[in-house]
Structure 1
């Protein structure tokens, strides 16, 4: 599987850009998967639902399946957070995995930057950043992609990874 990450500070537009890029890549016939890192507790289950009740009762893993999708929820219960490599190993084969977050991962990444975000740029300190998707001109030798042109960002990913 080919992997490309998206890294940037909160409010930079990572999720919006990734969503749009997925649409472009999928329309090109590529099978795309996603791994997203959350810095906070999250729940894909809802209180009172059967699967939620099973987790609350103590299950370490709960799988829910239907004719449209299946989902596996793993409770860490004090175990260390999974690494990106461990998470990638759970995915079925696909053409491309996009990774949102995991700023420090040792994978090629596109930094997502908007002028309104005042946090420092990541790429000067991260050799794994291969391009910057931005809404302003930056003083960098990296390729600069228009954050508002998801087709150009998708094209860069396809060319860079040889997908």
Structure 2
């Protein structure tokens, strides 16, 4: 599987970009999955549901299945947070995995930058940033696309996505499809 990250400060538009990018990639015939890192406690389950009751009772994992979808929830119960490589290994194979968050990891990333945020650029502090999606030209001459140019951002994502098995320093830009 190939992996590309979207990295940027809160409010830069990462999730909005992701929501537009996925349909474009699917229209190119690609299968896409995402991994989102949450910096705080989150819950995908609701109190009052049987699965929530199972989890609250102490189950390590709860799998909920229906004719439309299934979900597996895992409680860490004080265990270490899984690293990105472990999470990638749990996904079914797809053409491209887009990672939102995990900005300290070394997978290739596109920086999402919005000038109105007033936040500094993440690149060059993060050498894994290989391209930029922004409403202003980026520093350091990185390849870039306008925030609203979904096809151009999609092409950057495909060009710079690395294998989930790549190690830092071994990534090479991919040929455009």
Q: Per the shorter chain, which TM-score range?
A: over 0.9
Superposition pairs for residues 135-154 of structure 1, below 5 Å? 135-154=135-154
Q: Say what the alpha-carbon RMSD is for the aligned residues.
A: 1.1
- SS of the counterpart of 2:99? strand
What is the SS of the residue equivalent to 2:131?
strand
> 2:18 maps to what in 1?
18
Deviation at 1:28, TM superposition (A): 1.2
Measure the CA separation in 2 of the matches of 1:132 and 1:157.
10
In the alignment, which residue of structure 2 is the partner of 1:70?
A: 70
Unaligned residue ranges in structure 2 (runs of 5+): 162-173
Query: In the TM superposition, what is the alpha-carbon distance from 1:120 to its structure 2 partner?
Result: 1.5
Q: Compute the displacement of 1:92 (Å).
A: 0.5
TM-score, length-normalised on structure 2?
A: 0.89
The CA distance in 2 between the partners of 1:12 and 1:54, in whole Å, is 37
Per-residue displacement from partner, 1:37-89 (whole Å, max 9, x unpaired)? 01111111101100000000000100001111110000011111110001001
Give 1:5-154 correspondences, 5 Å limit.
5-154=5-154
SS at match of 1:152: helix
Cα distance in 1, alignment partners of residues 100 and 46 from structure 2: 24
State the Cα distance separating 1:90 from its structure 2 match: 0.4
**Partners of 1:148 and 1:94 in 2: how far apart?**
25
Paired residue secondary structure (2:139): coil
Q: Is the 8 A contact 2:34 2:99 kept in 1?
A: yes
Structure 1 residues 123-132 or 151-160, which shifts more? 151-160
Q: Which moved more, 1:48-57 or 1:130-139?
A: 130-139
